[in-house]
Amino acid sequence: MKTVFMTGAGGGMGFESFRQMLPDIGEKYHVTLLLRDSEKNRNLFDPYKSQVGLRIVWGDLTNKKDVAACTEDADIVLHIAAFVSPAADYYPDKAMKNNYGSTRNIIEAIQQQGRNDLTKFVYIGTVAETGDRMPPIHWGRVGDPIKPSMFDYYAVSKVAAERYVIESGLKYWVSLRQTGIIGPAMAKIRDAIQFHNCLDNVLEYCSDRDSGKAMRNLCAFDAEGTLPEDFWGHIYNIGGGESCRVDTFTMYQKMYGEMGFTSLDPVIDPRYTATRNFHGHYYLDSDKLENYLHFRSDSMQYFYDAYLNEVKSVKGMARVICKLPGGQKLMGSIIKSTFKKMMMSEHGTMHFIKDNVEDHIDAYWGSKKAWEALPKKVSQMKHFTDWNTVMPIDHGYDESKPESELTLEDVQGAARFRGGACLSDTMKKGDLKSKLQFRCAFGHTFEASPRLILEGGHWCPECERKSWNYGARAKVDPFFAQVWNPLHSPDEMREYPKQVTELDV
């Protein structure tokens, strides 16, 4: 019987995955969990300590010995654990250490144990790797430019980790870029990050239950021998499909409408909601993963139900007050007063404006002048509505060609489209695994596999480490310009230095 080593079982997606996998543990596969030794995790997993086929190791993913003890007999590694936003925004060093460091530790353990061609590694990436994709470029797919939003160190750490996975040399790996996860946990978020999510932003969400089902099916199908070989060695977007696609404005209308509000004016101040620099897009390709793992069942209604359950103690009162003359204004002022503390916090949008934090103002609104032009009421805003129109992103090579037919000329053309060059003079046709030599438009030379560049959307690691230099890059990189120019003016040239890189781990 195969063994699955699973990380992050104490987290939201991780515990839901564990719960879904329970009927198969001891029947289809054994499971090893590496859990941080905390009171929360002890209480959470105490009911399962006698589960047949389950082994719990108390330790830390940043400890190489703990990791090695779990990988030595693992046939599949589900690496779900992550230090996520909003906590990652406050502790960038910890985000990099946990997200990149843990990934490196696991892969190094697999390599040192001589299991490169045996252990199957499932990495959970994130939609945040491709960053801000506001309309009209709100449809995306794997292979689009990697572009983590400014100050999003969770995304920065996941970009570095995904690059390490793809270039690891493991025979069996897969990167699943997780979208926003809807469910009770999302309904409980009370942090400044909720005001970073722009009103006209979009996400194709996926529920915690469906995400867990995807992990369960992956392990079950592999154990049964029904997961196709061609599943491995690729990158996929995890998305819930059409029923989970929503823009933030519509989502707020539904949420506050259930509490009795007929307008968002009393509760949302557009001057303190960002207009850019979040993350998310609708997926053109999320059906690919669904066709392998068959996990979708929930819609956005699942989140709305979770939200209403979270506010059930005040929902009835709010609906009564909102029916009274002036009631919506009164109820809105109560809600806004709870928002103000978050908006004035370290990462709060009101703090950025009132304390004139220039780099954050530029990142989240474009400029102080652009912020000053915002209306005072949501009802005065003109919202984007053309959600079904797709502005395709050109990946710089002939994607109609089978992978087996891709040649050095295809890679060279893609490199030129990125403002750089492929310096290698030989490549085996169809070999996307072996690394080639590249140079970016800024003169940095680096090694990368065609898989990383063509399918992953990654490019120069030196540029990625140093800063968010997106304005300068868009002027010399036509590939990247497709996801920058539609949302920014030509004179937006601020460079945002990064506090931490994977080299610091």
**Residue 287 φ then ψ, to 5°:** -65, -25
Q: Which domain holds residue 430?
A: 403-456+459-504
Is 465 in contact with 503 (CB distance < 8 Å)?
Answer: yes
pLDDT block averages, 10 residues each, the chain of length 505: 97 96 97 96 95 97 97 97 94 97 98 97 98 98 98 98 98 98 92 96 98 98 97 98 98 96 96 97 98 98 94 92 96 94 95 97 97 96 95 96 97 98 98 98 98 98 97 98 97 96 96
> Distance between terminal CA atoms of the chain?
36
Domain boundary among 389, 421, 442: 389
Name which of 197, 206, 195, 191 is nearest 86 in CA terms: 191
417 falls within a domain = yes
CA dist., res. 136 & res. 489, Å (int): 15
Which H, E and C letters describe 307-367, residue by residue?
HHHHCHHHHHHHHHHHHCCCHHHHHHHHHHHHHHHHHCCCCCHHHHHHCCCHHHHHHHHCC
Q: Where are the beta strands (DSSP E) in 9-59?
A: 29-35, 54-58
Rounded to whole angstroms, the Cα distance separating 297 from 274 reads 32
Q: Are residues 371 and 413 in the same domain?
A: no
Task: Judge whether 200 lies within some domain.
Answer: yes
* Exposed / middle / buried, residue 343 (Cβ in 10 Å: 0-12, 13-18, 19+): buried
Residue closest to 120 by CA, chosen among 150, 63, 79 = 79
Specify the DSSP element, H or E, that contains 372: helix 368-372
d(CA 66, CA 35): 10
Q: What is the DSSP letter of 24?
A: G
376 dihedral zone (left: phi>0; alpha: psi -120 to 50; beta):
alpha
Domain boundary among 334, 366, 389: 389
**351 within some domain:** yes
Whether 397 is covered by a domain: the verdict is no
Asked whether residue 146 is domain-assigned, the answer is: yes
- Single-letter amino acid code for the residue at 224: E
What is the number of domains present in the chain?
2
Residue 193 confidence (pLDDT): 95
Q: Report if residue 271 sits inside a domain.
A: yes
Q: Are residues 151 and 233 in the same domain?
A: yes
Q: In terms of domains, do 364 and 440 share one?
A: no
The pLDDT assigned to 336 comes to: 93
Please check whether residues 384 and 431 belong to one and the same domain.
Answer: no
Same domain for 107 and 73, yes or no, is yes
Last residue of a domain, one of 337, 366, 389: 389
CB 500 within 8 A of CB 441: no
User: Is 439 found in the same domain as 372?
Assistant: no
Task: Kindly state whether residues 361 and 448 are assigned to the same domain.
Answer: no
Query: Could you tell me which residues come within 8 angstroms of residue 326 by beta carbon, excluding any fewer than 6 positions away?
Result: none
Q: Is 74 helix (H, G, I), strand (E, B) or coil?
A: coil
| 102 assigned to some structural domain | yes
Note whether residue 398 is domain-resident: no
The pairing of beta strand 120-126 with beta strand 172-178: parallel
Same domain as 149, residue 287: yes
Distance CA 279, CA 267 (A): 23
Other Cβ atoms less than 10 A from the Cβ of 234: the count is: 19
Quote the DSSP letter at residue 135. T
Contact 194, 203 (CB under 8 A): no
Q: What would the two tokens of residue 15 be?
A: 């515990």
Same domain, 383 and 326: yes
| Residue owning tokens 């919202």 | 383
Assess whether 376 and 449 both reside in one domain.
no
- The pLDDT value recorded for residue 281 is 98
Residues 305 and 269 in one domain: yes
Residues 36 and 137 grouped into a single domain: yes
Nearest C-alpha neighbor of 120 from the set 289, 238, 6: 6
Buried b (16+ CB within 10 A) or exposed e, 95-132: bbbbbbbbbbbbbbbbeeeebbeebbbbbbbbbbbbbb
Encoded tokens for 209: 């239950």
pLDDT at site 147: 98
Q: Give the CATH number for residue 339.
A: 3.40.50.720
- Measured from the Cβ of residue 383, the count of other Cβ atoms closer than 10 Å reads 11
